[in-house]
Amino acid sequence: MRNVVILAVGSFNPPTFGHLRMLQDAKDSLQKAGMNVLEGIMSPVSDGYGKKTLISSDHRFAMVVAATQNSDWIRADSWECSKSEWTTTLNVLKHHEHDVKERFGDDVGIYLLVGGDVVETFDKFNADGSPVWKREDVEMLVSIGLVVQPRPGSDPEKTLEILGLQGGDINVHMIRNEIASNAISSTRLRAAIKEHRSIKYTTPESVIKYIKENKLYE
């Protein structure tokens, strides 16, 4: 049986049940395919990512710690967000691949968890005509490992087919039968907090408590 680790990257601004469910669904799906999932890592993006709505990574990291405190396999990791400048997703993945092999052994694999909508951007172009992704970066990502959550209206398998990314050296796992494909978004949570609407049951109690204590997103 192959031992693997799942890496989830994002703003986590704030973390929601949606993020946590995605990890659970990815784990179940990989285990069903005969793999043993050793660990899940949630890595908040650095403040250097530069989005206006992004609150300080100290808070975002603390919220991911709070969100995962009841999990026996998911943990928060601060490597990425403790850097002042932004790190590309590929380099975050490479860092953790190295780290995981050091901690668990050379035969342990790593999967980057992404939504199907992210895979669809693999062959897309920016407004200035430049490709969103470098071809060699995409090739590297799919050979290290991707675990993909389906999204309504997106067809990630089609995109991979168009790009010719199929065959033996491609390590892409599609999540099947996820039980809570919900659309809880951090953006909506922030709006609700601002309008004093309840966010109970959208994220763990520990996260709600942290947000209140630190008066975040008000």
- Residues binding other proteins (CB under 8 A): 16-17, 20-21, 24, 27-28, 70-71, 179-184, 188-189, 191-192, 197-202, 204-205
Q: How far is the CB of 152 from other proteins (least distance, A)?
A: 9
Dig out the tokens for 61 from the structure: 């990291």
Helix and strand tally (H, E) in the chain? 8, 6
Largest distance between two CA atoms of the chain: 51
Q: How far is the CB of 191 from other proteins (least distance, A)?
A: 8
Residue with smaller CB distance to other proteins, 152 or 164 = 152
Q: How far is the CB of 162 from other proteins (least distance, A)?
A: 29
Q: How far is the CB of 32 from other proteins (least distance, A)?
A: 8
| Backbone φ, ψ for residue 207 (5° rounding) | -75, -45
Integer angstrom CA distances of residue 77 from 34, 58, 64, 154, 194: 26, 12, 9, 29, 28
Q: How far is the CB of 79 from other proteins (least distance, A)?
A: 24
HSE of 17, CA atoms in CB hemisphere, 13 A: 14
Of the chain, the end-to-end C-alpha distance in Å amounts to 48
Residue with smaller CB distance to other proteins, 64 or 93 = 64
Residue with smaller CB distance to other proteins, 1 or 183 = 183
Residue with smaller CB distance to other proteins, 170 or 184 = 184
Residue with smaller CB distance to other proteins, 101 or 173 = 173
Amino acid sitting at position 64: V
